[in-house]
Chains A and B, each alone.
Chain A
Amino acid sequence: QQQVKQSPQSLIVQKGGISIINCAYENTAFDYFPWYQQFPGKGPALLIAIRPDVSEKKEGRFTISFNKSAKQFSLHIMDSQPGDSATYFCAAIEDAGGTSYGKLTFGQGTILTVHP
């Protein structure tokens, strides 16, 4: 099963708050988990990514938490800002020894709105 389930569909947060977006997967062969940020009228851009041998990765205000046993991972945005308002997609890819290209399986996306 190649599905990645993302929640919530939409999220409203006050400026300075924490935004949390969750994803769950079933395919245990997935071993690379990127998050993408998309602004209206633009293509998605890579935000942060994690491998399953790491439980947490932080880049600035963005943190990925990874729970391999539960097959879940989440994005936390600390001190959320109005400029973070965008659609966020989680994704997963199966990597066959580093030589395959594969195809990403995306979550359904979360529309984040940060109120000033």
Chain B
Amino acid sequence: DGGITQSPKYLFRKEGQNVTLSCEQNLNHDAMYWYRQDPGQGLRLIYYSQIVNDFQKGDIAEGYSVSREKKESFPLTVTSAQKNPTAFYLCASKGQGRSPLHFGNGTRLTVT
């Protein structure tokens, strides 16, 4: 059953700590994405990667970092430099051309 797995579903951290969100896909997609979702603000792109060992900043990359060592995996680290990290984080992958994004079910991060 192909899809995108994000873990954990809920994550709680203390302010000042880095935290890594996991995203794994078995759709054999080259491109992977991280979005942040806040109420009333839609989906904002954090980082994306179109090939292993390469990634680009999205619209709100400050305070985040990623790696793409394997095609299947695209973990996102929320660093202590991210000023407002509490949000719902969505990972997605995509095939070439006019194909849709496939989303995972998200990780809700709460930082206190």
**Which residues of A line the B interface, CB within 8 A?**
6, 9, 31-32, 34, 36, 41-46, 49, 51, 89, 91, 93, 95, 98-101, 103-104, 106-109
Contacts and interface: CB of A to CB of B under 8 A. Distances in A.
Contacts of A6: 42
Contacts of A99: 96-97
B57 to A, nearest CB: 11
A18 B98 CA distance: 28
Interface centre among B98, B100, B104, by most chain A C-beta atoms within 10 angstroms, is: B100
Contacts, number: 65
A49 B42 CA distance: 19
**Interface footprint category on B:** 20 to 34
B90 interface: yes
Given A42-B106, A43-B90, 16 more contacts: A9-B40, A34-B100, A41-B105, A43-B4, A44-B43, A93-B98, A95-B98, A98-B97, A99-B97, A100-B97, A101-B94, A101-B96, A103-B33, A108-B41, A108-B42, A109-B43
B66 interface: no
Contacts of A103: 33, 45, 48, 58
Given A41-B105, A43-B105, A106 B42 contact: yes
